[in-house]
Amino acid sequence: MDAKNNTKQFNTDPAKGLDQSEVESNRKEYGYNEVAENKSNVLLKFLSRFWGLTAWMLELIIILSWFLHRYSDAYIVLGLLLFNAIVGFVQENNAANAVEALRKKLQINVKLLRDGTWKTLPARELVPGDIIRIRIGDFVPADIKISNGEISIDQSALTGESLEIEKKTEEVIYSGSIVTKGEATGMVTLTGANTKFGKTIELVKIAKPKSHIDEIISKVVKWLLLIVGVLLFIALIVAFLKGINILGILPLLLVLLLGAIPVALTAMFTVCMALGSKELVKQGVLVTRLNAPDDAASMDILYVDKTGTLTINKLSVAKLLAAKDYKEDDVLLFGALASQEANHDSIDIAFINAAKEKNILNDSFIQKSFIPFDPQNRKTEAGIKKGNAEFNVMKGSFNVIAQVCGLDEKAKAEWETKVNEFGKEGFRTLAVAKANINDKPQFVGLVALHDSPREDSKQLIKEIKDLGISIKMLTGDALPIAIEIAKAVDIGNTIIKASELKNADKNIVELLEKNSGVAEVYPKDKYDIVKAFQANGHIVGMTGDGVNDAPALKQAEVGIAVSSATDVAKGAASIVLTQEGLVNILGPIKVGRMMFERINTWILNKIARTILKTCFVVVAFLVLGKFVMTATALLIMIFMTDFVKIALSTDNVKWSQSPAKWNINGLAKIGIVIGLLMTIEAFGLLC
C-alpha cells in the first residue's frame, strides 16, 4: 500500500488527533506498530535433523542391526546418528536472529496527539491516522506525511542514499529514517509490516540461503550407496547361483552400509569450519554462520555496497570554483567560517577539515555569531571578526545564495550551468558568499562535496578480481554518483538504474553480468538481484551496512556486514568485518578455499577407502563363502580412519586463485580408480 494514497483514508483533526474509539478501531484493522514474530518449535527443529538421506541410512542400519541381534552395533550407530543431529542443530542455532534485532528498533517512545492532548507513548501503540511530532535526532517509527514543518533526514540505513534528504509539507518520511535537522508534525500513514521498514523485515524473515554443505554430503552418500548397491547386486547373483540363503546376505548388507555412510563427513565439515572461523577471528572477521567460509570459497559474484564500504561515508570537498576577484582558498575559507564544528554537521565538518588541511583556517578568525542551517532559509550564517575588521559569511543552496547576492539573470544562468555539471558528476553543490558590515553580500563561489572512496578500495578490488571473483556495485544513490565512485575504484563505468531491470524480464542476469553495477536500488531490488544470480547457479556475496541491505545479506550465501553496519545488518550477515572498509574480506575467501582443499582430500580418501573395504569384503565372500570382517570390526575401522583423518582439517594447503567448485562426480571417479588399485594391492599382500 502506498503511503501517499493511504493518507486519504483518514480524516484526523490535526488540532485534536484521534480519540480513543478511533484508535481502537484503527488498531483492530491495522494492528500494532510492529512486525509479528514467527517462533519455530525447538523440538521440531531438532527432530528435523533425523530426516534426510544420511539420517535414513543410519536409521536403516540401526533397524538392520537390531533385527540381526547385533545390539552393540545398533547402539554405536545410534550414537553416531545423535552426534550428527546435535552438531547440525547447534550449528543452525548459532546464526544471529536478525528479525529480533529489527523488531527492537521500533521499541522507542514517540510524542503524539490524542484527544487534544500531547502524550508520550511507545512507538508500538501508533496507529494510522495518529498525529505525531518528530525533531532532530529522532528515529522515525512509522511512515509519516508531513503536515507542518520542514526537516532533513538521513535515510541511508533504509535506502542506501548517503546524502541528507530534505522533506517539506505534504511529503512522506519513511519509517527507519533519522531526523538530522528541523522539526515537523505529521500524520501516520502506514505502520508495522506495511511500512517500507516493515517490508524490509518481512524480506529478512523469508530470506534463506541454500545450504551447499547438505547438497555435497548428499552427493557423496549417493555415490557411496551406488558403489555398495553394485557390489551387493553382484553378491546376490553369486549367492543365488551357489544356492546360499538370501537372508545370509543381510550381515553383508549391514557391513557394506556401515562402510558406505560418511558418518564423519559432518564432523569434518564442522571441525574444518570451526578452525577456519577461529583463524578469521585473529584477522578481525567474525563468522555468525559456521559454513560461511565454505560459501566464501565458492563465491564467484560479489556485490558491494557503496556507502560506508567503498567510500568513507563522510562528506569531503571535491572541487572549488571561485568567482571573479576571489581565489579558491577564499571560497573554502569563507565556507569554513560559516560552519561550526560543535554542530557535528557532516557538511560543516567537511568544510572545516578541508580548510585545516590547507592551513588557511586559524585562531585569528573569531566567530562572533552563528546561525545554523534551517530548512526554511536553507543556509548557515556567521559573523566573523579578524583584528579590527568584521564581516559576515554564509553558505547554502545556490538558489538561496544567488538571490541574497542579487545575481543578474545572465550570471545566475552561468553559475547554474556549473551547478548542473557538478550534479552530473555526482557532487552535491553549495554556494558561498561574503558581506562586509552594512554591505550587500558578494557571491564568492561554489563548493562541490562528495563521499570520497576509501584509499584501500581500488587495490582491494584488484585483489578480489585476481581471485577470480566478479565484483559489482549496488547503491541507493543516484546514477551519476554511482558512476563516479565505480570509475574511481576500478569497478567499471557501466552502471545502470534499478528501473532498467524491471524491463529486462528473463534477461535480468545477462543484463547484470555485462554491467558493473546498479544504482537507485531499494531493499527488494537487492534481494531480487541476489536470488536471480542464485537461480542461475552462482554463489553470491553481498556487502552492506544498513537496514536496507539486511534482506540481501540474509539471502546471499556470503552476507558480509562492514564494521560500521547497523545491528540489523550484522544480525542478517554470515560474516561481520571488525575493521573499516573491505580490507578483511580477503580472509574468508582464502581461508574458505583452504578449507575446501582439506575437505576435498577427506572426501577423496573416504571414497577410495570405501571401495577398498567393500570390495575386499565382497570379493572375499564370493571366493571364501564367508565374511572376513564383522560389522563391529568395520565400525572400529571407521573410527580409526574416517574420524582420525579429521586431522586433515589442519593440513597445510594453499588457496586456489579461482573460486572453489565442488566436483563430487570427478572425485568419485578418481576415488574408484584409487580404491580398486588399493584393493588389488591388499589381495596381493594377502596372497
Q: Tell me the catalytic residues.
A: 305
- Are 318 and 421 contacting, i.e. CB atoms less than 8 angstroms apart? no
How far is C-alpha 172 from the chain's CA centre? 27
The secondary structure of 230-274 as a DSSP string is HHHHHHHHHHHHHT--GGGGHHHHHHHHHHH--TTHHHHHHHHHH
The secondary structure of 208-220 as a DSSP string is ----HHHHHHHHH
* Rg, the chain, Cα only: 33
CA distance 546 to 307: 9
CA distance 240 to 237: 5
CA distance 444 to 335: 9
Tally the C-alpha atoms within 13 A of residue 362's C-alpha that lie toward its C-beta.
6
- Are 375 and 366 contacting, i.e. CB atoms less than 8 angstroms apart? no
The set of cell numbers assigned to 403 is 538571490
- C-alpha distance from residue 410 to each of 310, 324, 370, 407, 434 (Å): 40, 15, 32, 8, 21
- Within 10 angstroms of residue 202's Cβ, the number of other Cβ atoms is 16
The secondary structure of 371-438 as a DSSP string is E---TTT-EEEEEEEETTEEEEEEEE-HHHHHHHHT--HHHHHHHHHHHHHHHHTT-EEEEEEEEETT
CA distance 504 to 169: 36
